[in-house]
Amino acid sequence: MRLCICLVLLSFALCASADFSAIPRAGRFALDAAGGAWDMLRAYWDMREANYKNADKYFHARGNYDAAQRGPGGVWAAKVISDARENWQGGVSGRGAEDTRADQEANEWGRRGGDPNRYRPAGLPSKY
């Protein structure tokens, strides 16, 4: 009986000292990650729609930039999506290590908050 009372009191003490603020932070992270994934998808759609020569680095940087503006969850989503795409591209599509390296540079530039227009090719419609 004494053991049971001790366990109950210990449980109350642990619950009282628990950090429940982690739950909203986790929810915010998940929402930021979902929004960041959406930003990456939107940049991909725009790149496909524009079909503009030498514009892929701009869209890489823009997608990562937009995702990173959402917060840590957006940065995480942008990194996961960018790395997965580049691993696929480097291994399957045969575009080569140099293109992958240049894409990753644009991805990181955008994630760090750099202006995507650094990679914007001349003549790309202002819609993008």
Cβ-proximal residues to 56 (8 Å cutoff; 6+ apart), any chain: 47, 103
The pLDDT tens digits for 73-105 are 999 999 999 999 988 876 666 667 888 899 999
Q: What is the pTM of this model?
A: 0.81
Q: Is 126 contained in some domain?
A: no
Tally of domains in the chain? 1
| Distance from C-alpha of 47 to C-alpha of 54, rounded to nearest angstrom | 10
The pLDDT tens digits for 8-47 are 656 655 565 556 677 788 899 999 999 999 999 999 999 9
Q: Is 49 contained in some domain?
A: yes
Segments forming the whole domain that contains residue 44: 28-119
Q: Is 99 contained in some domain?
A: yes
Which residue reads 């993008």 in tokens? 128
Q: Is 23 contained in some domain?
A: no
Band (pLDDT 50/70/90 cuts) for residue 7 is low
What are the helix (H) ranges across the chain?
2-17, 22-50, 56-68, 72-88, 97-111
Q: Tell me the CATH number at 103.
A: 1.10.132.110
**113 against 24, higher pLDDT:** 113
Q: Measuring CA to CA, which residue among 77, 64, 38, 75 is closest to residue 119?
A: 64
Q: Is 36 contained in some domain?
A: yes
What pLDDT does 62 receive? Answer: 98
